Amino acid sequence: MNKKLIALALAALPVAHAMADVTIYGTIEADMESSKTYANGVKDVNNKPKAVTRIDDTGSLIGFKGNEDLGNGLKAIWQVEQGLNIDGTTGSSSGNGYGNTFASRDSFVGLQGAFGKVRIGKLSTFLNSDAGAPDAWIYGNKGVNGQSYSSINQLDGRVKNAIRYDIPEFVAGLSGAIVYGVDETNATNKQNTFSIGTTYTNSGYFGTFGYQRYNNNYQTDGGEWKPGNYWRLEAGYNANNILAAAYYGQSKLASSDGLDSSKGVDATFSSVLSTTDAAAADGKELKKKEAGLTLGYTFGAITPKFSYGRVWGVSVDGVEAKGHLNQYVLGADYALSKRTTAYASYGYVQNSFVNTAGDKYSNEHTVAVGVQHKF
């Protein structure tokens, strides 16, 4: 009997060795919030948002990653990452928008060496994976207690059917990446995606630029397909317990009322517009400008923060939308440990836009308290 057990243990050794480079990691987070926003979808008879209380998963995930040393400085790398919904809701009704499909986040296989890194799969744009310092909040997609009206939240996503190349660090502090995504919904690949980004950091100071282009993104009144794009520039300082980060960006993308977000759509007004207005704008050109600033300081376990964001210069299908959005977020994180953070935040959106009927949109607000744990 003992000989059989020893034989089984020895037989398992190669398997154990093969599993040695596999890492399981993730984030579990949720909040309780009181929110009066258009994104909640709860409106009164006048199409104005009503206040609701929600308990939301704001971005939980679990991932598996690993590598294999192939020799001569070359490695095989892989990752499978999945968004979770610990509150029991999925899809558009959930606080983070995740459905039940597996590998909903960055998932890939690739090679890494002195030449850099090449990956194939579902991959983040550079702005999604390596930028976003001004958006220093934990929040879901139903509230306004994060930069929910800017491209930082909406457009810094992942590209399906993609290949990504990350450059090696030729210069200390300099990094960058190129992403190309193939549209597989038709034989002519009409909606391919291209993305490029770079950042430079030195002694806490940083500057980041990212650009994304979507072929055949929106249609004109004559039925002609046009490419859409957006770009953003970030700069600031993040060191010595200080965060000071600013951004400016412009976008020209298809207005969305439920279109595929991976193909480059802007949902800034999809939930704000009335049903008639949203349907009329769906798939049309939506242009806007945006800018913002975030300040934070850590003393002890507490990090109070403040953000201001502005959206203006909006036009839908070439028609100017008079007005603007001002967004304010105030809150604090409390580090219970290195891996567990409690947080509270309040977001307020002042909206001066009007719909085609001349009705002014309502202001929005969200107050939230939550916990995040990383493992």
Task: Give me the DSSP letters along 47-88.
Answer: S-B--EEEEEE-S-EEEEEEEEEEETTEEEEEEEEEE--TTS
Closest Cα to residue 89, out of 100, 105, 101?
Answer: 100
Q: Give alpha helix (H) positions in 80-167.
A: 126-130, 151-154
The sign of the CA dihedral 148, 150, 154, 158 is negative
**Which tokens is 106 given?**
């960055």
Q: How high is the pLDDT of residue 270?
A: 62
Closest Cα to residue 161, out of 126, 117, 192?
Answer: 192
Give the Cβ contact number of residue 83 at 10 Å. Answer: 23
**Of all helices (H) and strands (E), which one includes residue 11?**
helix 2-18
Q: What percent of the chain has pLDDT over 70?
A: 88
What's the CA gap between 158 and 163, in Å, rounded? 11
Mean pLDDT, rounded, for 241-262: 83
**Of all helices (H) and strands (E), which one includes residue 33?**
strand 23-36
What's the CA gap between 352 and 365, in Å, rounded? 15
Mean pLDDT, rounded, for 79-87: 94
Amino acid occupying residue 333:
D
What domains can you pick out in the chain, each with its CATH number?
31-374 (2.40.160.10)
pLDDT, tens digit (0-9, with 9 covering 90-100), for 299-349? 999 999 999 999 999 888 888 888 899 999 999 999 999 999 999 999 999
Q: What's the predicted TM-score (pTM) here? A: 0.88
pLDDT band for 46, please (50, 70, 90 cuts): confident
298 against 219, higher pLDDT: 298
Distance of CA 48 to the CA centre of its chain: 27
pLDDT band for 17, please (50, 70, 90 cuts): very low
Whether 126 contacts 195, CB under 8 Å: yes
pLDDT band for 98, please (50, 70, 90 cuts): confident
The mean of the pLDDT values for the chain is 87
**Which tokens is 48 given?**
């104005």
Assess whether pLDDT exceeds 90 at residue 45: no
Whether 42 contacts 371, CB under 8 Å: no
pLDDT band for 262, please (50, 70, 90 cuts): low
Cβ within 8 Å of residue 120, ≥6 positions away: 108, 109, 110, 162, 163, 164
